[in-house]
Amino acid sequence: MTTSPFREPLSQKQSRAFEAPDVIRTRFSDALSHMYREEVPQYGTLLELVADVNAAAVRRDPLLLPSKPDSARLDVERHGAIRLGTPYELNTVRRIFAVMGMHPVGYYDLSEAGVPVHSTAFRPVADDALATNPFRVFTSLLRLDLIEDTALKDLAAEILRKRNIFSARALELTDQAEARGGLTARETDEFIVEVLQTFRWHGEATVSREVYERLRSVHRLIADVVCFRGPHINHLTPRTLDIDAAQAEMSLRGIEPKEIIEGPPPRSIPILLRQTSFKALEEPFRFAETQAQGVHTARFGEIEQRGIALTRKGRALYDSLLQMARSDSEGDARKYEERLAQAFKAFPDTLRALRREQLGFFRYALLPHTSLPAGETFNIDDLVDQGVVSATPITYEDFLPVSAAGIFQSNLGNAEPKAYSDVTVQSEFEQALGAPVLDAIALYQSEQDASIAEVIRDIKRLAP
Ligand code: OOG
Ligand code: NI
């Protein structure tokens, strides 16, 4: 077992009477998926499309199916996103997700890209929890401090102060889970129903048309976060094995995808994350007071393909090559794709090079029936080259700030983004959250290190 420095706080205290956090997470993710399919029927189309594309991809090339544990979780794998308004909301959401074995990983500052939020991703952390169900929620907190108009800022803060996005019972059950160390099966049933309420679409705004329009004219995102009774889940993203095929198939099934796929270009060895989305749909709602009808666009669809997690060195190379392709704003989407492909020629594209140059993370394991080398010190790369040890890419479980900004922009109607000139305020975010965010790269590193330590231990134990 991996000796990750991170231990599930709940499982330690857990007794047999409690449902495992993995089970609660899977049940919640399923329930959310059902609800979202009802709310946004195109999401159902997306799920069918991805299932078809994945099946076809594996038929064409069986090697495309990731090795375990990735292959086993593919059918249940998805991520969602919510946007919150206050520190209290973020703090409480953290506590709720902890009950499901999900913890904040990473800090994403989107203000540089003209989106007035900062974010984290709640996800499972331990490798066995990830293997069971890697459900993640990209969670953003609105930054009212970036709004210049003080009167409007105060108004928004006042509206947010008055709302309560959690049911009393959801809060009670969360307290209970923390105090006792878990939830029973019956409490879990209730917890899921109650927490789902926070994520659903509420067809009534908390504000008048006038206030909605005022907030919307500053930034569409601000109206989306401030004017409703809850942080409606705004997308749920299934994972595909072939995003280029999925992108092409979207148009064929009457879904209009955004022009470019975010992230790295197509490669033989996928790295990090590639994503595409379709535009937000128009949903009717009622304004407060007059009950007049309005239409709001917030919820959209997204598909993603995941590849190997990169080391700090690999990530630095990725960031610089992406920057190179993006710095030149000439031309259309096709031109951008060409520049991207050109720039990424500098990124090694074989497993061996990614491993040898320490660009990607791998999980190592001793292969059965091999003759073991003797000795005191071992070089893991040599052991792999000698055919004694296998190296399986570790999947990237996180998000990418530039891609996330692109996704935000496209569903906010491609308004010309203007960057907020501001320093990153991770410490403020963590204060609101009530906990530090975990460092994603450190998590991958510790998984890789633990697998190497186990290999060496095994060799020393088994070698003649
Ligand atoms: C979140 C957008 C970011 C992703 O996959 O990068 C995201 C949002 O629009 O609230 O989900
Ligand atoms: Ni997303």
Q: Kindly report, residue by residue over 139-187, the tens digit of the pLDDT.
A: 999 999 998 899 999 999 999 999 999 999 999 999 999 999 999 999 9
CA-nearest residue for atom 4, ligand 1, is 404
CA 395 to CA 78: how far, in whole Å? 14
What is the pLDDT, as a whole number, of residue 413? 63
pLDDT of residue 281: 85
Q: Is residue 3 part of a domain?
A: no
218 CA → ligand 2 middle, Å: 24
Q: Whose CA is nearest to atom 3 of ligand 1?
A: 404
In a shared domain, residues 235 and 109: yes
**In this structure, what token pair is assigned to residue 339?**
């520049």
Domain shared by 404 and 322, yes or no: no
Q: Are residues 133 and 117 in the same domain?
A: yes
Which stretches of the chain score pLDDT less than 50?
A: 1-7, 12-14
Secondary structure (3-state) at 409? helix
Report residue 268: phi and psi, to 5°: -70, -40
Can you tell me which atom of ligand 1 is nearest the CA of 304? 5
H or E element, residue 293:
strand 293-297
Atom 7 in ligand 1: residue holding the nearest Cα:
404
Q: How many C-beta atoms lie closer than 10 Å to residue 255's C-beta?
A: 17
Q: Which residues pair with 274 in a beta bridge?
A: 305
Residue nearest to atom 9 of ligand 1 (CA): 408
Q: How does DSSP assign 121-137, residue by residue?
A: EEE--SHHHHHH---EE
**∠21-22-26 over CA atoms, to 5°?**
115
Q: Give me ligand 2 centre to Cα 389, in Å.
A: 35
pLDDT for the residue 61: 82
Sign of CA dihedral 412, 254, 238, 99: positive
- Alpha-carbon span 24 to 244, nearest angstrom: 33
Residues 353-401 pLDDT 10s: 999 999 999 999 999 877 888 777 889 999 999 999 999 999 999 999 9
For ligand 2, the distance from its centroid to the CA atom of residue 227, given in whole angstroms, is 22
- Same domain assignment for residues 389 and 378: yes
Residue-level pLDDT at 311: 98
Distance CA 70, CA 66 (A): 6
**pTM exceeding 0.75:** yes
Look at residue 355 and tell me if it is in a domain: no
Per the structure, the complete domain to which residue 316 belongs is given by 310-348
The answer to the question of residue 5 being in a domain is no
Our answer on whether the CB atom of 403 is closer than 6 Å to any ligand 1 atom is: yes
What is the residue with the minimal CA distance to atom 1 of ligand 1?
A: 81
The CA R_g of the chain, rounded to the nearest whole Å, is: 23
Residues 448 and 299 in one domain: no
Q: Is 29 in the same domain as 93?
A: yes
Contact predicate 450/2, CB 8 Å: yes
The pLDDT score that the predictor gives to residue 387 is 93
102 close to ligand 1 (CB < 6 Angstrom)? no
In a domain, 6, yes or no: no
pLDDT the model gives residue 417: 60
User: Distance from the CA of 293 to the center of ligand 2, in angstroms?
Assistant: 29
Residue 277's contacts (CB-CB under 8 Å, 6 or more residues apart) are: 235, 257, 258, 300, 301, 302, 303, 407, 410, 411
Give CA separation, 153 vs 188, 257, 296, 415, in Å: 38, 34, 21, 21
Q: How many CB atoms lie within 10 A of CB 219?
A: 20
**DSSP H or E stretch at residue 275:** strand 273-278
Decide: 305 in ligand 1 pocket, CB within 6 A: no
Q: Provide the residues around ligand 2 (an ion) whose CB is within 5 A.
A: 237, 302
Tally Cβ neighbours within 10 Å of residue 190. Answer: 15
Question: What does the pLDDT read at residue 327?
Answer: 87
